Amino acid sequence: MHEVKFDGYRSQIVTDVGGVRIFTRRGLDWTSKYRDLAKAAAELELESAIIDGEIIVLDETGLSDFGALRKAITRRQHELYFVAFDLLHLNGHDLRDMPLEGRREILSELIAEGQRIQFSEALPDDAKAIFYLVDRAGLEGMVSKRKGSKYRSGNSTAWLKTKAFTIDEFELLGVEREVGKPAFALMVERGTGRYVGSAFITLNREMRERLWKRIQERAGTAPKGLGCLSTVMCPPLR
C-alpha cells in the first residue's frame, strides 16, 4: 500500500496514566513544544496508546511546508497537524506483531475527520500512477509499505520511501561552514549571478574535503550586497 510522504517531523504520541506526551524520532520529549497537539490527542480519550506519525504545517496550497514548520512550533501552534499512520499499542495491547492493515484499520476508527490529528489514508491505484500524481502535485514523495508486515523500529525493507525531486544546476558561490555544523553550498544563477540560496552538501567526507580545499584556493571577499556569508569569503574563523 502507498501513502503520501509528508515533509515534517516524525513523532510519536504516547498516552498513558501520566497523560499525553509527544516524542521526537530520537526519543526527546517535545510535549511542551506541541501543547495544542497534546490537547488534541487527549480528546481521543484513550486509556493508553502509542501512535506513530508526522507533525506538519500546511502552506496556502495545502501542501506540507517544512520551511514553515519551525516558526509554527514557536509562534503559531494552531497551524500544526499530526498525521497518524500507524498504531503500536492500544489500551494495554501490543499491536506491533499484528499485520499492517489491521493496525491501520483500528487507528482509522480512533480518529475523527476534520481534527488536528488526522489519519494518513492509503492511495488507490498502482505505484507508478500514484507517484506520477504525487510528483505533479508538488508533494515530497510517497511511502510504500508491505501489506501484512509487522511493525519494527529502525530501517526496514517493509517501508520504502520514494522522493520526488526537481533538478536544476547553479554556479557555486562559496561554502558556509562552521565547526560542528553542516556545510551549505551558496549558489547563484548561471549567467545572471543572482543569489538563489543555500543547499545542504550531501557528499561523502572525502569529496567534501576535496571541495573545501578547491574553494579555499579560490577564496575571495563576499560579493556586494551579500555580506559575510561564508568562512571562505571572509576572514577565517579560528
If you average pLDDT over residues 2-22, what whole number do you get? Answer: 94
* pLDDT grade for 236, boundaries at 50, 70 and 90: very low
What residues have CB less than 8 Å from 86, skipping those under 6 apart?
51, 52, 53, 100, 103, 104, 107, 151
At 28-75, the pLDDT tens digits run 999 999 999 999 999 998 999 999 999 999 888 778 888 788 888 888
Cα separation, 79 vs 56, in Å, equals 8
pLDDT score of 225 more than 70: no
Across all residues in the chain, what is the average pLDDT? 86
pLDDT of residue 223: 55
pLDDT of residue 229: 44
How do beta strands 19-24 and 80-90 pair? unpaired
* pLDDT grade for 221, boundaries at 50, 70 and 90: low
If you average pLDDT over residues 131-141, what whole number do you get? Answer: 90
At 174-205, the pLDDT tens digits run 887 777 777 788 888 888 888 888 888 888 88
Q: How many CB atoms lie within 10 A of CB 21?
A: 17
33 is catalytic: no
Task: List the Cα angle 155/119/42 in 5-degree steps.
Answer: 100
0.85 cut: is pTM over it? no
Phi-psi domain of 77 (left: phi exceeds 0; alpha: psi -120 through 50; beta: other): alpha
The grid cell for 207 is: 569529496
Domains of the chain: 2-163 (3.30.470.30), 168-238 (no CATH)
Cα separation, 116 vs 112, in Å, equals 9
Determine the straight-line distance between the first and last CA of the chain, rounded to whole angstroms. Answer: 52
Residue among 5, 33, 39, 224 flagged as catalytic: 5
Cα separation, 183 vs 78, in Å, equals 33
